[in-house]
Structure 1
């Protein structure tokens, strides 16, 4: 049995959307830290984490369909979505490190 195309595309688009939101929130967090507003930067990271949870939910939905025996067609869109997810995770991790560095600079 194959996963229906509309369900697959909706899930893929959710993965792209939430991963993109994660990266955007992280970029805003870095800019806030750069201005010295570490508290607001950390709040943005919290929002990024929430977006990342939503992205993971989309990914888990695809994995669940496949585990049920529903074939998930690998397409350029799915690869693109997975790429967005991995980049957003990396970007979030780096943003947290950058914020920590800015925090140290403001304390010195």
Structure 2
């Protein structure tokens, strides 16, 4: 049961950190939209920190799987992976949008 609790903790960490990363990326876009590029860059860096936390948790589960300790796949685990992939994609796009706002501000 301790292993299931540890996996649940990891899964929840992925969901929370993925959600936080996406929120920070959105805040970066909103800051850039108002011309606050220092704030936008800080929010993108914050999003990267949340993604790094999530990645570290995910790596632990992947290592466990690679060592032959198969983890039971649940709907919650799939949901956590979905959160991660969406957060990564959103962060990448937010960086591009912030760059576009910066270029528009130069003109």
Q: TM-score range by the shorter chain?
A: over 0.9
Deviation at 1:92, TM superposition (A): 0.3
| Matched residue, 2:41 | 42
Q: 1:79 and 1:54 mapped to 2: Cα distance?
A: 18
CA contact (8 A) 1:33 1:99 kept: yes
CA contact (8 A) 1:20 1:88 kept: yes
Q: Which runs of 5+ in 1 are unaligned?
A: none
Deviation at 1:3, TM superposition (A): 7.8
Q: Which runs of 5+ in 2 are unaligned?
A: none
| Matched residue, 1:54 | 53
CA contact (8 A) 1:3 1:71 kept: no
Q: 1:5 and 1:82 mapped to 2: Cα distance?
A: 17
Number of matched residues? 107
| Matched residue, 2:4 | 5
Structure 1 outlier segments of 4+, above 4 Å: none
| Matched residue, 1:102 | 101
* TM-score, normalisation: structure 1: 0.94
CA contact (8 A) 1:18 1:52 kept: yes
Q: CA RMSD in A?
A: 1.3
Deviation at 1:68, TM superposition (A): 2.2
| Matched residue, 1:72 | 71
* TM-score, normalisation: structure 2: 0.95
